[in-house]
Amino acid sequence: MEAEDELCFPLINNSCRKILHSSPDAALGLSALTTITLLTVLLNLLVIISIAHYRQLHTCTNLLLLSLAVADLMVGTLEMPVEILLYRGCFFLGDFVCSMYGFVSFLVISVSVGNMVMISIDRYVAICEPMSYHTKVTYKRVQVCVVSCWFFSTVHAAWMSRELLQRPDRYNSCFGECVIVVNEAEAAFDLLVTFLAPISVITVLYMRVFVVAVTQARVLRSQVTSVSVKRSGAKKSELKAAKTLGLVILMFIVCSCPYYVYTLLYDSGLTQSSGAAELWLIYLNSCINPIIYAFCYPWFLRASKNIVTLQILKSGSSDTILL
């Protein structure tokens, strides 16, 4: 009887066995993961509603943040709950959900990386080429870039998970398992496309932004005329946005690196760990992003207050001044 209790499906002979955790550890772990999941969903919903509802927030930069928040919301609603179910080592949702879980995993990571690259380009042009920013970075062009990012990420995700989509139980060793396996060549390609190349581009662009930002900060301190004060206000706003978005990008890199290092070590046979902690760390980034906005963007706090108190239901609320 005790052996049957350890099976995910006691009535099925080839059922997987549950991963046993001590009661205090299991309760604490599940509580922490559930809290992170709920925060991720709630905070990213606030970001999405804020930017979508308030006209003043319909800017090129915020459109990129909106796209990133949608990807983060997908992590909170689709990826994290499945990982919580797998905490005991049992997958109860069937082959179709398993295949979609793999597909969405590749999709959200690819979309997030694409958005980070676009944010870096946006800040590069805003800081390094401010005079031509509004002619080069238009709302329509950003819309096209966002749609293209989601389209190519979908194609990439479909290709990476094609075997899983065709036969979800291909690599399962027992009933009640959901295993995602990618061959070495595809893993190397994915590592290059979704991590090494984008991170290199982001690093180069932000190093340039940092150098120019430091130079501009020195110039701002030396400006004293009224005309200069007006211009310096706009520059300070761009510099603050660059710092905030730079922090978003930095946290993405910090949260992503352990996962990709684990992938390299696992593929080379140097580690046999499950990688669950590394995967949760990259998912945690989806919860961190809106927290950064809350501390760095006053408009997010004002908009969130209006949403929570249902002020957005009032007529004309979309024209509320938040900045």
**pLDDT tens digit sequence for 114-135:** 999 999 999 889 888 888 889 9
**Terminal alpha carbon distance of the chain:** 64
For residue range 176-235, list pLDDT tens digits in order: 888 887 777 888 888 888 888 998 998 888 888 888 877 766 766 666 554 444 455 556
State the amino acid at position 135 in one-letter form. T
Give yes or no for residue 68 having a pLDDT over 50.
Answer: yes
User: Tokens 């979609």 label which residue?
Assistant: 100
The whole-angstrom separation of Cα 35 and Cα 29 is 10
Q: How confident is the model at residue 236, as a pLDDT?
A: 66
Q: How confident is the model at residue 1, as a pLDDT?
A: 42
Look over the chain and give the mean of its residue pLDDT values, rounded to a whole number.
83
Strand partners, 7: 17
The whole-angstrom separation of Cα 94 and Cα 52 is 35
State the amino acid at position 298 in one-letter form. P
**CA angle (84, 85, 89) in 5-degree steps:** 105
Give yes or no for residue 272 having a pLDDT over 60.
Answer: no
**CA angle (158, 160, 163) in 5-degree steps:** 85
The full set of domains in the chain, from first to last, is: 28-315 (1.20.1070.10)
Strand partners, 175: 15
State the amino acid at position 251 in one-letter form. M
CB 172 within 8 A of CB 178: yes
Q: In the structure encoding, which two tokens stand for residue 168, read together? A: 């979800």
Q: Let me know how long the chain is.
A: 323
The whole-angstrom separation of Cα 30 and Cα 36 is 10
Q: Which residue has the higher pLDDT, 42 or 4?
A: 42
Give yes or no for residue 96 having a pLDDT over 50.
Answer: yes
Cα distances from 235 to residues 198, 223, 292, in angstroms, run 27, 12, 21
HSE of 263, CA atoms in CB hemisphere, 13 A:
23
The whole-angstrom separation of Cα 240 and Cα 251 is 17
